[in-house]
Each structure stands twice: as C-alpha cells, then as structure tokens.
Structure 1
Amino acid sequence: MFEILAAASGAAAEAPPAWINWLPIIGMILIFWFLIIRPQMKRTKEHQQKVAGLKKGDQVITQGGLVGKITKVDDTYAEVELAQGVRVKAVKHTIGDVIPKGGSAAND
C-alpha cells in the first residue's frame, strides 16, 4: 500500500523544466530593454547628432535654460552669445537643443 502511494506522489511532484524558472527574469529584462534602455539610447544618439551639427548662427538652448546664438564652434566648446556683447563659452555637450529656423528669436 505504501508503495502505491509513494509511486503516485512521485509522479505528481515532478518539477517543471529548469528553463521555465528563467522565463520571468527574461521577460523583465525584455521589458526594461524596450521601455527604458532602448528609448534612452535613441535620445542620446539624437543629442549627439545635434551637437555634432552645431554651426555658427544656430540658435540654441543650453541645459541650464539659457537661450542664445552660436558665434563660434570648435571640437569641444561653443561660444554662445546670450545678449548683445555678452558671450559665454560652453561645453558643446551642455547644449540642450537647437531652435529651428523661424522659432522665437534670441538677441533681437
């Protein structure tokens, strides 16, 4: 009698395959990738392209919120004119955005 119960309980307590235990972890990694990591990488790439394309005369917004016009650009720095006669030297990567032509004018 004990043999029958032991055989029945052994068949019922069979564990699922090991790869099934990894499915929730793989699912969470995929969710993080598509909802957080991938969009951030896309934004970073777009920002790097904007910074690489800076040229004299572009109107920009710094990450500190200052609006000005680019007067000089080199590999690392951009000179930004904030007002008439007021120029600051900014690291290019601190330029937050480029204002498209036809946007509100700075330094008028």
Structure 2
Amino acid sequence: MDLVVFLPLILIMGAFMFFASRKQKKAMQATIDLHESLSVGDRIHTTSGLQGTITGISDDNIELEIAPGVITTWMKLAVRDRIEDSADDEDFDDIDEESGAVELTDRPAPKADGN
C-alpha cells in the first residue's frame, strides 16, 4: 500500500532521469562528431576561451596557431566549437537603413563655461 503512494514520484523521477541521460548522450555525440570532423585550417574556440587556427592534427592533440607564428599544442578534448564565418562580422560602416541605426559623425565638443 505504501508503494502505491510513491509510485507517481518514482515514475516522474524515472522519466526525468531518462530524458536527462538522452540529452547528455546527444551532447556527447555532437562533441565526438566535432572532434572527428576537425581539419587543418579550421578556426576554433577552446574550453578556456582561446581562439586559434588548427595547423596540425594527431590522434589526441591539435596544434593551434594563436597568433602569427605562435603555435601551441592542445588536447582535442579542449576544443569547444568551430568558429563559423558569418555575415555578422562585417564592418559597422554598412548601416542598415531599415533598422533605424544612426551613423555617428564628428561634432565639435561643447564649449566649457567658466561656471
């Protein structure tokens, strides 16, 4: 009789654990797929926030160029994601007229009063 009282709670907890494990498995598979698809020339973020370009790949490590001529070695597990080139990185000189953005212009500084 006491088990009947706890049955809904046990079912809810079981469902929660099932869906949480599925989400974790999907995330892990996405990370594995990313690590397997890395190639020389890809721009990436590491888990510590560093950005770099892959210059070499071995089984467990990658070599990243983090500045011109500066190459460091990282574990593949440190790769968080690939940096995709996007149109959002364009110069701010192109102003979208529909967005209502206003271009700032040079204005003379206000004169200081003696007050």
Determine which structure has more spread, i.e. the larger CA radius of gyration. Answer: 1
Report the equivalent of 1:25: 10
1:43 aligns with 2:46: no
**What percentage of aligned pairs have identical amino acids?**
27
Residues 89-98 or 21-30, more deviating: 21-30
* SS at structure 1 position matched to 2:40: coil
* SS at structure 2 position matched to 1:81: strand
Deviations 1:75-100 (A, max 9, x none): 11000000001111000011000112
Distance in structure 1 (CA, Å) of the matches to 2:17 and 2:76: 30
Residues 92-101 or 68-77, more deviating: 92-101
Q: TM-score, normalised by structure 1?
A: 0.71
Deviating runs (4+, > 2 A) in structure 1? 18-24, 101-104
More helix by share: 1
Report the equivalent of 1:4: none
Distance in structure 2 (CA, Å) of the matches to 1:78 and 1:102: 24
Report the equivalent of 2:65: 81
5+ residue gaps in structure 1? Answer: 1-14
* SS at structure 2 position matched to 1:64: coil
5+ residue gaps in structure 2? Answer: 90-115
